[in-house]
Each structure stands twice: as C-alpha cells, then as structure tokens.
Structure 1
Amino acid sequence: MTHSVEPLPRSFFERHAPLVARDLIGTHLVAPSGVRAEVVEVEAYDQKDPAAHTYGGPTPRNEVMFGPAAHLYTYFVYGMHWCANIVTGQPGEGEAVLLRAARLLEGEGAVRVRRGTSVAERDLLRGPARLAAGLGLGRTAGGADLLAPDAPLRVVVGAAAPGATAVEVGPRVGVRLAADVPWRFVAAGSRWVSDYRRHPRAAPRAT
C-alpha cells in the first residue's frame, strides 16, 4: 500500500485545539527512523483550561505553546517520562494537542530498540509516554517545526482524509482540574487506545 509522505500544512494546525485534535484521529505520524503510526487517541488543551500548562500564562517551559502552530512541545513527567504535543491555534493563544496513542504500521524494529523486545505489540505506542518514547520524542524534539526538512516527526494524511475517521469523544485521562471537559478524542472501537482513568482527586461528576 502506498502511503502519503507530504506533511499536513501549517493551516491544518492553525485552528482551535479541539478541532485539530478531532481531525488528527486517523492521520499518520512518520519519524525519520522509518516508523509510521496511525493516531488513535489525542487530547486538546488551551490557555483558558485549568488543566493546561499554559493556564497561568507564558513561562520558559511552555513558551513554545504560545508560538506558531505545527511545532512540538515536549515535557518531562514523573521524573522519568517524556510526552509530546503539537502546538495549535494562532501565536499567543497557548494551546496544543497531546499525542496519547497510536497504532504502529511500520518500523517495529526501530520502536522496539527504544521500548524493548518483550513489550506487547498493543502497548508499544499506547499511552503518551510510550508513544513519545517509541517515536524518539524527548528533550531535543521540543520546539521542533514539523514542517522543517529535518523535523523529528511529520503528520501526514492516513488511509482516510482528515476528519473522516469515526471518533468517540469524552473526558481527558487523569486530569484533576476540568476533569469532565470532553476534549479526549479516540478512534471509535480501537483496541489501541489507552485506558481511561479519572484522577482520584477530581471533583465529583455533576448529577
């Protein structure tokens, strides 16, 4: 099967994070190591969102999220994992989409060098830390332009046009604030998405 290699244009990402997130489902992530994976789960965040890193305004850590769209924002969590986001919207708006899970299509050998030979196929890119590790997206990828010739990641059209894949929408995983905002988008019926876990200190759901 012939796959697209042309990256999606910057205009695709210059929209509000939830709109971009919805349309990212079914697109393909392509890394220079020969890895290609289909996006099956993402989450959106913006500056008005108390769960977002940009909620308090620009800082040296999050400044890339206030810049042009189609750049990578990577961050370190739990003292051991990296996660990768794609900046969206217009400069100054402080928003991004977290890449949460993908279905590996090509390049399993390269992914297993980073993730290990004993990891189940389903778990190679299932969860944001696993996905970032499998694609090699860590500190040095932060701030990278997805449209640059030497980009560590490209986002290209998948088997269907962006927005054509059936999507399920629900609350985001593990956030304490704004826990019920429905900004998690997953490929409908996919076995490759991560498990939903509500933060134990999130406010009770409204009844």
Structure 2
Amino acid sequence: MPQLDFSRPALEVAPHVLGARLSVDSPEGPVTIRITEVEAYHGVGAPGVHDAGSHARNGRTDRNASMFGPPGHAYVYFSYGMHFAINLVCSPEGAASGVLVRAGEVVEGAEIAAARRTARRPGSGITARQLARGPGNVAQALGIRRETHDGLSLWRAPFALDLSSVIEPDISTGPRVGVAGVAGGPKFPWRFWITGDPTVSAFRPGRSAPTALPE
C-alpha cells in the first residue's frame, strides 16, 4: 500500500491524490491520466457533518455497495442515465466515503481516449485538454464501465494508481459542482483542483445551492 492511507476519510485523502496517475488497461491498450480535479463525499460511518450530496448518505444499497467495501477500490456508478463516473473508495470497510475523479490530463493513450470520446460524435474536434475534463469524460477516456470495473482494487490490473508523481501542487478548493442544496454550497468546500490547470472543469452551481455561508 502506498504512503497515502486510503483508510482515512475521503476529505483527508482527496487533495493528496492531485497529480497522481490513474491508469486503466484494456484490449485497446492502457490509458493514463494525471488527476487534476477531485471531490470528496462522505456517507454513513464517515466522520463530520451529514453530507446530503453523497450516494451513501442514507446507508448501503445495491448501487453504492462498493463505497462500503475496503479502501483503495473503485466505486463506479451510472450518472443521469448518460455516463459513468469513478470514485476512489476511502475509509475503513463498513464506512462509506469516496473521492470522485472529476478531471485529468491524459498522459498516455491519448489516441485511444480520443477515439472513445468521439465514437458517438465523429468529427467533434475534442481538444487534448477536454479529453478527460469532467467525471463522465474521465470514465469514457479511461474506458471505465460499472459492470467491468466497480469494486475492483486500484492496485491490481486493469487498474494502476501511481502516487509517486504527486509533488504537492498548488491547490485550490471550493464548493462541489452541480450538487443541490446546502451540500453544494460553501459549507462544503470539498472540491479540490490543481490551480490554473487547463483540464479542470468549469464550476456550475447545483439547484438551490447557497452562494454564501449563513450569517
């Protein structure tokens, strides 16, 4: 196990995976991203305030079961009936927290990633910085699907997670993207990104999310 302890809560782990390299192998070949943006989510059993933005806020279900599994595994879910997204599972087994990978720079397998991203939209002209910009695009670029990758260890094939490339980059933090209500406001500055990196996604407030802390 690397020095970063994934048995810690996601909020503690999240900023420290920025700059790490996440790889997924496939018959087409490996694709690797350098992680540039993440969000932390806490569920049942994780410390701190109740996180209404978490899939595990009300306990274990068939959908979120991997979040309650051992740390250092993948939690993959299908979002809005459109795309997959990947979380790095944190906290001890039985407690639920995860780090959502929101964006990354493709550093290996760019041609494979581009072919996956443009398969449904040929000629769409996706730029290098857009290949893995946004959680759905991260999963698509890496070839991640729930039925194939959910619950697998991040340290065994087809995954590989290299933390040796993390060099404590300049980090910004703020509210999470598109999360509704209080959980998407400044009370939860649980989004972390490498400051100024062009692959980081644009901020979009969630429905009825507050823009300032209550006085």
Letter in 2 for 1:41: E
Which residue is 1:14 aligned to?
A: 7
Q: 8 Å contact 1:101–1:128 — kept in the other structure?
A: yes
- Counterpart pick for 1:156 among 149, 156, 162: 162
Q: Which of 146, 149, 163 is the aligned partner of 1:141? A: 149
In structure 2, the gaps of 5 or more residues are 44-49
- The structure 2 residue matched to 1:51, chosen from 53, 64, 68, is 53
Q: Distance in 2 between matches of 1:160 and 1:60?
A: 34
Does the 8 Å CA contact 1:72/1:143 hold for their aligned counterparts? Answer: yes
CA distance in 2, matches of 1:40, 1:166: 11
Indicate conservation of the 8 Å contact 1:179/1:198, yes or no: yes
Q: 2:173 maps to which residue?
A: 169
Structure 1 position 179 matched with structure 2 position 175: no
Partner letter of residue 198 of structure 1?
P
Superposition TM-score, scaled by structure 1 size:
0.88
Q: Shift in Å at residue 61 of structure 1?
A: 1.0
Instruction: Map 1:52-71 onto structure 2 (within 5 A).
Output: 52-71=54-73
Q: How many residues align?
A: 196
Task: Give the CA deviation at 1:28.
Answer: 0.8
SS in 1 for 2:184: coil
Equivalent residues in 2 for 1:15-54, closer than 5 Å: 15-32=8-25, 33-47=29-43, 48-54=50-56
SS at 1:172's partner residue? coil
Question: How far, CA to CA, are the matches of 2:31 and 2:164 in structure 1?
Answer: 14
Q: What amino acid maps onto 1:49 in structure 2?
A: D
Residues 10, 69 of structure 1: 8 Å contact kept:
no
Mapped partners of 1:9, 1:89: distance in 2 = 15
Partner of 1:123: 130
Match of 2:96 in 1: 94
Deviation at 1:160, TM superposition (A): 3.8
- Tell me the percent identity: 37
**Of 195-204 and 69-78, the range deviating more from structure 2:** 195-204
Code of the aligned partner of 2:62: P
Aligned residues of 1:75 and 1:82 also touching (Cα < 8 A): yes
When residues 64 and 160 of structure 1 are mapped into structure 2, their CA distance, relative to the original with a 3 A threshold, is closer
Q: Which runs of 5+ in 1 are unaligned?
A: 1-7
Q: Aligned AA for 2:184? A: A
CA deviation after TM superposition for structure 1 residue 63, in Å: 1.1
Root mean square deviation, CA, Å:
1.7
